[in-house]
Amino acid sequence: MKKWHDTNNEYTDDELLYCLTNIKNGIMFISGPTMCGKTAMLKRLQSKFEFEMNIITEEYLVNYILGSCSWSSVTQEEFYENTSEIILGIEDIDFLAGKEATQKEAGRVLNQLCDAGKKIIITGISLKRKIPFLIQMTRKNTVGFFVYM
């Protein structure tokens, strides 16, 4: 059976799903190798519990949210209001590896979303190694970090 780990415990898929359903306002990271079930976990969460949930990719985050042309105050307000009442899932954030400035800006935006009451689940591969600046920037809002073992 798959095992997910945080600092102190290990979890089955069902136990992790339970943790995700009870997420507090803030950011939860799910890190694991390709094909370990990260995306399936987000989709299962979305369908099983019928959450108001948007799942976006890192490309959408960078192009739409962080894009200097489109990230006006009007767009920000619309995004905060329309980006899921409950959870925003962001997949493949590890593609920000090596992009320090982008990670920092993404961290700033994600912190704003948390301050606006959003709950965010971020997935990717080797997150602690690939996106250290984003993790550092969002530390105050991080409520969980799960790693597939």
Each residue of 24-40: pLDDT tens digit? 889 999 999 999 989 99
Tokens 């306002």 found at: 25
d(CA 109, CA 138): 9
Place 62 in a pLDDT band, splitting at 50, 70 and 90: confident
Place 74 in a pLDDT band, splitting at 50, 70 and 90: very low
pTM of the model: 0.85
d(CA 29, CA 66): 20
DSSP alpha helix (H) spans, 10-149? 13-21, 38-48, 58-60, 73-82, 100-115, 127-130, 132-137
